Structure 1
Amino acid sequence: MKRGAGRQGGSRRNVNKILKLNTRDRNILLKTPFMASLGPTALAQMLEIATVTNYEARDLLFREGEHAEYFFCVLSGYVRLYRLNKDGREADIRVCGPGDTFAECLLAVGDTYRYNTQAAENVTVARFELDKVRALAEQEKDVAKAIIQCLSNYLRSTMDIVANDRLQTAPQRVAHYLLDHCPQDSPSASIRLPFQKSLLAGKLGLAPEALSRAFSSLRRAGVTVRGRVIQISDVSALKQI
């Protein structure tokens, strides 16, 4: 899909001053799969090398092909991962929210970023220098194991995404997303999207117009859309899609 370039065509703006972790940031990091598997010593060392930076909506964190210095964890807001072709068409890869990490695949191999990243809104991220984490992995077995486990989890989730994209229709993808965010055992639900519908379209591998058609087809299952708020009058009917 093709979107407005925003700040893509120009140079990336300077980020705010580098900050250290506050209590809230620390608590988010502690719940990430990468950090949660670390022992006390390795965890303390990882937290010590973490720095916090802010980006405004539509700022680029990095571009595909740039020299890779960091991997990241989102602390607030949403970050969009995507690729561009020579004609400027965009393909979304992933949408990362609070607690999600990205670019950690470069800890094992590679020295350039493999995709572009853009702040979908004002975001705060923790950054970890790749070289420092690699050196730490040589000393701390926990860090090395965490890297392997993280990459394994992403491989499995990517395989699930590929399979779902091939096996599910657009309405089924949307229905699956909505059901994942419905309260358990509730006959009806009201969901507020945490981001714009254009971002949801990319997250589900759909063009914006395909997402609109999917929502239209879900009306018969009791789904109505008003801005970011989605009302589901019959959860059981949605499960039959």
Structure 2
Amino acid sequence: MSNSAVLATLSALPHFRMLERGLLDRICAGSRLRSFQSGASVFLEGEPCHGFFAVKTGGVRLYRMTPDGREQVVHNLRPGQTFAEAALLNLGRYPASAVATASPTELVEVGAEPFLRAFREDARLAPAMLGSLSMHLLSLVERVEELSLVDAGARLAHYLLRQPGRGPDGRVRIELPMPKKELAAHLAMTPETLSRLLRRWQDQGWIESGRGGVTILDGASLQIVADGQDRG
């Protein structure tokens, strides 16, 4: 069961779609399916990198600890996403810590040795990895932009406005990719501040907030908040 799950997960990734089956089978043979409960550590910042990961189910939070002991969220990952490729290609150490955010969280760990061997054998892996690393870099740039906003309302408005969504009559329905407690940590605010902002914006008619999602009714007002012209 685990071997078929590993193959299904990896074959769906852009990294491996163009590989010959024999080469993919060898990578799968050096990979394993791992299961974590919410809150369990996947790896810690500074540990040696032995492979990279693909999220099969659940979610993962990447974070670093600040000098004053606060957790700074780097990224929240969902099924179909990968992480730790850069650490693997540098043959170094993990630059951040990773923790599971759902129960169960299933990850495919791609072993360093078989992957690097395949990387040398098949030139098609290089552009796929560059594409993945470029997406991670874009995500980090957006994250820096997000956290550079001093006001909590601006951070939340900026986050909501760049989420994909669709709906009738110009409404934009956003399915939040993480629980609100995790979203608050992602946006460097307390859960109470997040709830207060969502409640206020709903009272003002800008959004409708429900279980697992938000519907944007007045994107123009949120954009003003995101631009720092109104504290919401």
If the TM-score is normalised by the length of the shorter chain, which range does it land in?
A: 0.7 to 0.9
What does 1:85-96 align with in structure 2 at a 5 Å threshold?
85=66, 87-96=68-77
Contact kept? 1:187, 1:235, Cα under 8 Å? no
Distance 1:186-1:128 versus aligned 2 partners, 3 A rule? farther
Letter in 2 for 1:90: E
Partner amino acid for 1:223? Answer: I
The aligned residue for residue 127 of structure 2 is 145
- RMSD in angstroms over aligned alpha carbons? 3.0
Q: State the partner residue of 1:223.
A: 207
Q: Deviations over 1:94-115 (max 9, x none)?
A: 1011011011112221422121
- CA change 1:214–1:35 in 2 (3 A) is farther
Going from structure 1 to structure 2, the CA distance change for 1:44 and 1:221 (only over 3 Å counts) comes to: farther
Percent of counterpart pairs with the same letter?
27
The one-letter amino acid of 1:95's match is N
Distance 1:186-1:61 versus aligned 2 partners, 3 A rule: farther
Per the alignment, residue 32 of structure 2 pairs with: 51
Maintained 8 Å contact 1:93/1:202: no
Q: Determine whether 1:211 maps to 2:194.
A: yes
Q: Which ranges in structure 1 are unaligned for 5 or more consecutive residues?
A: 1-17
1:102 maps to which of 72, 80, 83: 83
Matched, 1:116 2:97: yes
Counterpart code for 2:50 = E
| 171 and 182 in structure 1: CA distance in 2 versus 1, 3 angstrom threshold | farther
Unmatched 5+ stretches in structure 2: 226-232
TM-score (norm 1): 0.75
Per-residue CA deviation, residues 45-68 of structure 1 (Å, 9 max, x unaligned), is 434433211111111111112222
Equivalent runs, 1:229-240 vs 2, <5 Å: 229-234=213-218, 237-238=221-222
Asked if structure 2 preserves the Cα contact closer than 8 Å seen for 1:201 and 1:207, the reply is: yes
| Residues 57 and 78 in structure 2, CA contact (< 8 A), matched pair in contact too | yes
Corresponding pairs, count = 221
Tell me, yes or no, if the aligned pair for 1:186 and 1:235 is still in contact at 8 Å: no
Instruction: Name the TM-score, length of structure 2 as normaliser.
Output: 0.77
